[in-house]
C-alpha cells in the first residue's frame, strides 16, 4: 500500500495552469512580432514613396487648387452682376467689387497657374512642344492679352458711364453688351484650356 503522507511528484510538464500561462506568453510574443513587422514595412514603404509625393504631386495639388480659385471666381461674376442689376443704386459697388476680386484673387491665381504648370511639365518630362500643351499655352496667352488690352478698358468705361448717367445711359448699355460678350469668350477660352489639361488629346 502507498503511504498517504508521501508527496506526489509534479508532472514533468508542470500543472495545466502553468502550461496555459506559457501558451499565452508564446501567443503574445508571436502577435508582437507581427505588429513590429507591419510597422517596419510601413516605415520602409513611406521612405520609398514620400520623395515622389513631395515633388510632382504637391505641384499638381497646388495647380488644381489655383485653377479652382481662378475659374471659380470668374464664374461668380455673372451672378454678382445679375444681383446688382436688381438694385441699380448698388451696381457701381458691385462692379468695383468684381474688379477687386479679379485683380487680387483671380489674376494672381492665373499667373501662378502658368508657373506651376510649367514646373509640372519640366518635372514630369513633358515637352512644351506637345500639341495639346502648346495649344493650351497659346490660348492662355491669348486670353491674358484679351483681358488686359480689351476686357479691362471696356469694364472701366462701363463703370464710368454707369456712374455718370446711370443704367439708362447709352454708353453704359453699349459697354455692358461688349463686356458680356467678352466675358463669354474668355470663359470659353479658360474652359477649353481646362479640357485640354484633363483630356490631353493626342
For 94-186, list the strands marked E by DSSP: none
Q: Which residue has the higher pLDDT, 61 or 32?
A: 61
Q: Is the pLDDT of residue 148 over 80?
A: yes
Determine the pLDDT at residue 55: 83
Q: Is the pLDDT of residue 19 over 80?
A: no
Q: How far apart are CA 188 and CA 15, in angstroms?
A: 84
Residue 161 is assigned to a structural domain of this protein: yes
Do residues 120 and 67 touch, judged by C-beta distance below 8 A? no
Determine the pLDDT at residue 197: 93
Residue 42 is assigned to a structural domain of this protein: no
Residue 69 is assigned to a structural domain of this protein: yes
Count the helix, strand and coil residues of the chain and give each as a percent rounded to the nearest 5: 85, 0, 15
- 171-200: per-residue pLDDT in tens? 999 999 999 999 999 999 999 999 999 999
- 149-158: per-residue pLDDT in tens? 999 999 999 9
Count of structural domains within the chain: 1
Determine the pLDDT at residue 16: 58
- 156-169: per-residue pLDDT in tens? 999 999 999 999 99
Residue 139 is assigned to a structural domain of this protein: yes
- 48-64: per-residue pLDDT in tens? 444 445 688 999 999 99
Residue 21 is assigned to a structural domain of this protein: no
Lookup: cell for 134: 502648346
- pLDDT averaged over the chain? 84
Global pTM? 0.71
Residue 39 is assigned to a structural domain of this protein: no
Residue 90 is assigned to a structural domain of this protein: yes
User: Cell numbers 520623395 correspond to what residue?
Assistant: 51
Domain extent for 115: 54-199
Do residues 106 and 98 touch, judged by C-beta distance below 8 A? no
Residue 190 is assigned to a structural domain of this protein: yes
Determine the pLDDT at residue 48: 42
Determine the pLDDT at residue 116: 96
The percent of residues in the chain predicted with pLDDT above 70, rounded, is 73
Q: Is the pLDDT of residue 34 over 90?
A: no
Q: Which residue has the higher pLDDT, 117 or 31?
A: 117
Q: How far apart are CA 185 and CA 190, in angstroms?
A: 9
Amino acid at each position: 500500500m502507498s503511504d498517504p503522507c508521501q508527496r506526489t511528484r509534479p508532472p514533468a510538464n508542470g500543472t495545466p495552469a502553468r502550461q496555459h500561462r506559457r501558451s499565452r506568453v508564446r501567443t503574445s510574443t508571436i502577435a508582437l512580432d507581427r505588429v513590429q513587422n507591419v510597422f517596419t514595412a510601413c516605415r520602409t514603404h513611406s521612405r520609398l514613396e514620400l520623395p515622389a509625393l513631395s515633388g510632382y504631386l504637391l505641384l499638381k495639388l497646388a495647380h488644381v487648387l489655383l485653377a479652382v480659385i481662378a475659374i471659380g471666381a470668374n464664374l461668380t461674376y455673372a451672378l454678382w452682376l445679375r444681383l446688382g442689376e436688381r438694385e441699380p443704386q448698388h451696381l457701381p459697388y458691385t462692379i468695383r467689387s468684381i474688379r477687386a476680386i479679379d485683380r487680387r484673387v483671380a489674376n494672381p491665381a492665373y499667373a501662378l497657374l502658368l508657373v506651376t504648370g510649367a514646373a509640372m511639365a519640366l518635372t514630369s518630362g513633358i515637352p512644351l512642344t506637345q500639341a495639346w500643351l502648346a495649344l493650351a499655352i497659346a490660348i492662355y496667352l491669348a486670353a491674358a492679352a484679351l483681358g488686359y488690352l480689351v476686357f479691362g478698358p471696356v469694364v472701366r468705361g462701363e463703370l464710368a458711364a454707369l456712374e455718370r448717367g446711370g443704367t439708362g445711359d447709352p454708353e453704359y448699355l453699349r459697354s455692358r453688351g461688349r463686356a458680356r460678350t467678352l466675358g463669354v469668350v474668355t470663359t470659353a477660352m479658360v474652359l477649353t484650356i481646362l479640357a485640354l489639361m484633363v483630356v490631353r488629346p493626342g
